């Protein structure tokens, strides 16, 4: 397994190009299952998760052409997906266990084929993460669903029927699955208490280009008039707001200045407000944003994660690293996932002063962190540890960086160009 070695304490200066959003790209790729025509996605990031979903889609018979060429490997910046014929409506455990978002094929397969078998994803480091909301909502649209031998077996032989779905809890994935399923269901579907993340808006925009009729985008109630068929389209994936927030914090934690080219700060207002309160200066331009400290040391402030438009849980670990070096104390409350403080014991190894009480962490800022070998437990935790390493005195080695590769495109290269002393230590195979 590769590791990342960082010698910290160097302020970052320069430009970082923000990649296309992983969390927007995944449902967009799954949407290709809804039509026999070609869906052309541009601004796709090069990431392990994109390659995993590409493999899932290939199993279903989707033809993928990356940058215009047929290819068997990972994602590229332009991806054409053609699901002319679904040859297999079963998503195997071996692929789904690698990435939970593979469950996003369930809604489209069921809507198009009237049948789907998708492995249950299993647990994950940050919580149990069930898919009950996806399944109940699909049942409301008339699907018959059984769990057998670790698989979700869903059928709707006469097609899905539009209905009102009231989500008891906001779920990004369930909203996306239902949005795709409802696009081909008969009649009207209303999704109440739907997630409002910008990635949902991006999916709705793409589905609309494919011929879907969706209203209420950006609100918590989405109304979809089902259509008999969808067609091909071209769509550019939105910039990654989590990558944007991560690099904004990299600039701040190292007391440097980064221009984040292509960043869309409009998708990140709550986080940017909090970061500004903590002492970041964010200057918007038509190219993106430039981030630095407003003056001196950062201040400890309290943050609670929430569904959009609240502070994103996917920035919580990075924010905690930032607060570990701030002046004063900070309370960080995690409301989305039950076990998303796995980075805390690792930050302790670097000298951070953090106490956990249930879903709240009290961070008492320190002037300096100290480099140490640490272990990444999940994608965003890894990014938090990299940030801490950039600020720490001495050497930090982040182990298990495959987590990072799932969601950050060329992170060590982007940071190195801006002056970080960072390198990937490849495993001897
Ligand atoms: C998506 C994002 C992930 C982000 C999360 C919350 C992708 C690929 N991933 O994950 O990066 O951290 O949103 O913003 O877009 N839940 C249930 N039952 C369900 C579904 C969810 O109880 O059927 C719970 C989850 O365990 C979690 C909460 O609802 O506690 C929110 O999860 P959800 O919004 O569904 O997250 P994902 O779509 O998996």
Distance 99 CA to ligand 1 centre (A): 13
Burial 211-230 (b: 16+ CB within 10 A, else e): bbebebbeebebbbebbeeb
Which residue owns the Cα nearest ligand 1 atom 39?
A: 173
- For ligand 1, is residue 171 a contact (CB within 6 Å)? yes
Distance 307 CA to ligand 1 centre (A): 10
The DSSP annotation for 317-328 comes to HHHHHHHHTSBS
More confident of the two residues 72 and 10: 10
Check: CB of residue 23 under 8 Å from CB of residue 242: yes
Three-class DSSP category at 124: strand
From ligand 1's centre to the CA of 171, what distance in Å?
Answer: 5
Residue nearest to atom 12 of ligand 1 (CA): 314
Q: How many C-beta atoms lie closer than 10 Å to residue 149's C-beta? A: 9
**Measured between alpha carbons, how far is 231 from 229 in angstroms, rounded to an integer?**
7
The CA distances from residue 411 to 53, 243, 320, 403, 422, in Å, are: 21, 9, 19, 12, 10
Distances in Å between the Cα of 198 and the Cα atoms of 106, 123, 219, 419 are 21, 26, 11, 31
Q: How far is CA 240 from CA 29, 258, 262, 311, 429, in A?
A: 16, 16, 9, 15, 32
> Would you state the pLDDT for residue 411?
95
d(CA 105, CA 84): 16
Whose C-alpha lies nearest to ligand 1, atom 9?
23
Across the chain, mean pLDDT equals 94
Start-to-end C-alpha separation, the chain = 9
**Of 78, 86, 124, 397, which residue is the catalytic one?**
124
What pLDDT band is residue 98 in, cutting at 50, 70 and 90?
Answer: confident
Q: Can you tell me the distance from the alpha carbon of 239 to that of 384, in angstroms, rounded to the nearest whole number?
A: 20
Known catalytic membership, residue 206? no
**Is 72 a residue whose pLDDT tops 90?**
no
At residue 338 the predicted structure's pLDDT band, cuts being 50, 70 and 90, is confident
């Amino acid at each position: 397994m590769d590791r990342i070695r960082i010698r910290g304490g160097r302020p970052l200066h320069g430009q970082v190009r923000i990649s296309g959003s992983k969390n927007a790209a995944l449902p967009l790729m799954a949407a290709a299952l809804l039509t026999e025509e070609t869906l052309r996605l541009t601004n796709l990031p090069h990431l392990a998760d994109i390659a995993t979903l590409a493999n899932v889609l290939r199993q279903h018979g989707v033809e993928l052409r990356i940058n215009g060429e047929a290819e068997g490997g990972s994602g590229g910046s332009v991806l054409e997906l053609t699901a002319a014929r679904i040859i297999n409506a079963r998503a195997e455990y071996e692929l789904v266990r690698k990435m939970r978002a593979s469950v996003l094929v369930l809604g489209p397969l069921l809507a198009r084929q009237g049948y789907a078998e998708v492995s249950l994803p299993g647990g994950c480091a940050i919580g149990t993460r069930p898919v009950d909301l996806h399944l109940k909502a699909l049942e409301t649209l008339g699907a018959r669903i059984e769990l057998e031998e670790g698989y979700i077996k869903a059928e709707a032989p006469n097609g899905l029927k539009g209905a009102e779905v009231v989500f008891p809890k906001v779920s990004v994935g369930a909203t996306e699955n239902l949005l795709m399923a409802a696009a081909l269901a008969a009649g009207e579907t209303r999704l109440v208490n739907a997630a409002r993340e910008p990635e949902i808006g991006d999916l709705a925009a793409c589905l609309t280009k494919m011929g879907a009729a969706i209203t209420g985008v950006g609100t918590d109630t989405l109304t979809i008039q089902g259509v008999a068929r969808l067609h091909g389209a071209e769509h550019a994936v939105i910039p990654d707001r989590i990558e944007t927030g991560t690099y904004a914090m990299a600039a701040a934690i190292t007391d440097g200045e980064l221009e984040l080219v292509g960043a869309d700060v409009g998708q990140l207002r709550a986080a940017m407000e909090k970061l500004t309160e903590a002492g970041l200066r964010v200057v918007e331009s038509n190219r993106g944003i430039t981030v630095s400290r407003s003056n001196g040391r950062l201040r400890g402030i309290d943050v609670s994660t929430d569904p959009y438009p609240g502070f994103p849980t996917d920035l919580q670990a990075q924010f905690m690293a930032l607060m570990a070096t701030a002046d004063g104390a900070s309370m960080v409350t995690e409301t989305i996932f039950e076990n998303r403080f796995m980075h805390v014991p690792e930050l302790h190894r670097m000298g951070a002063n953090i106490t956990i009480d249930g879903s709240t962490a009290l961070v008492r800022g320190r002037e300096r962190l100290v480099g140490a070998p640490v272990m990444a437990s999940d994608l965003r935790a890894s990014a938090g540890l990299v940030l801490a390493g950039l600020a720490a005195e001495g050497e930090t080695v982040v182990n298990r960086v495959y987590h990072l590769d799932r969601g950050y495109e060329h992170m060590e290269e982007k940071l190195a160009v801006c002056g970080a002393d960072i390198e990937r230590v490849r495993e001897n195979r």
